[in-house]
Structure 1
Amino acid sequence: MEVDICYVMDCTSSMGSHINAVKACILKVENHMEKMKPSVKIRFGFCGYRDYCDGANRLQIFPFTESYVQLERDLSNCLATGGGDSPKDVLGGLNVAVNQMSWRNEIRIIFHIGGYPPHGRRYKFNDDDYPNGDPNGLTAESVLGEMKSKNIFYFFGKITNFTNEMVNIFRSIIGEFPVYDLNTVDTGTLVNLFFEAHCSDMKTAVSLIE
């Protein structure tokens, strides 16, 4: 069995412990999957997002790789920085994951980790420098619709309750999806939570494919 998993992650200044946990979790997942019978081969990719004020650092993309060493090297260049106001460029991060990553395998998973919603009044967040929504014209409907058309499964790791309205809106577009509570900054706890979420993601995706 071969799987593509792409992390889409808020990489702003408060996310350092979560980025470190992703690095540790990927190695744990890789070792676990290699021991399974039959073994599961995974390509990992990463799309980090920040916000419009961060210019060239707004999006950070690392292509799919089967090499943990390569991904670890890539993620060492991913720093928790920037961010601006509370909402983030969530749609920009999801859009590059859907449309710029080289999806190949039958089982395709986006594991989105974030604590704040996209920009726009519909997400009911007052601290928003872009209340009219994404300045590049992206909408949840367009991005998630494209994701669904490419048969990519979406799972969300929630860090705060500020994303509750986002989850409701996303579910109204693509239907139900699992949400995992990652509201802690302890790296050891996060690694275990990420690992449990991954195992659940895999089982869910495989059952839906079958």
Structure 2
Amino acid sequence: MGVAAGEVVSLVGGGGKSSLLFALGDLHGSGTVLTATTRMGADQAGEAHLLVGPETADLARALEGPEPVLVWDRVDGPKAIGVDPSVPASWLAHADRVIVEADGARGHPAKAPAPHEPVIADDTSTVVAVMGADALDRVIEDQCHRPLRVAALVGCSPYERLTPERAARLLLDSNGSRRGVNRGVRFTVAITKVSEDNRALVDRVVAELDRADPSVGIVLVADHHTRPDPSER
């Protein structure tokens, strides 16, 4: 999944946003800013060039290097605090692209947002809704962040399973993963942790997404412990 020059991309949902953030940083390398508008683990800097509360000149200088630049506002103990959503677009004066982790899921592969979520960056051109394939056909209460909200959105009990059809509904609902996505903003679904074991379930989600809204981009990201390659549709 490439990110074009001049784009601000916001990642929302559950299941692997941080991993996708850094994978996109590795893919694009120099000239790419990675950041968050929420909290991240302070140990999640990866291979990126980390800046905390940088001045504009510091950021511009770091962007001349070969690696992506990760920017946090500050660090508070084990947590890194993200930037205000108005800030990322301003970096395009020096950066080729900005990729933003704009939501939290407390490690769960799927979620429904609270009223204050997600924190999509201003001037975002693409929103990527992330869901882990390990949520599929599993009990909502066990696998989803804010399970009561998930259950209400998909029309079942939190003790029932997140079927592929329910997962697609959660991803496309304006109170689900599509919450806060403005008209004209491109919307893409990324299903992570795809493996041979769950591929049949993933294919059912893809079929339901295609049926319900063919305009939605779909990216499948392989579980790094398995052999299938990522694919984009």
Q: TM range, normalised to the smaller chain? A: 0.3 to 0.5
Relative contact order, higher structure (CA 8 A, sep 6+): 1
After TM superposition, the score normalised by the length of structure 1 is 0.45
Give the helix-richer structure, 1 or 2.
Answer: 1
After TM superposition, the score normalised by the length of structure 2 is 0.41
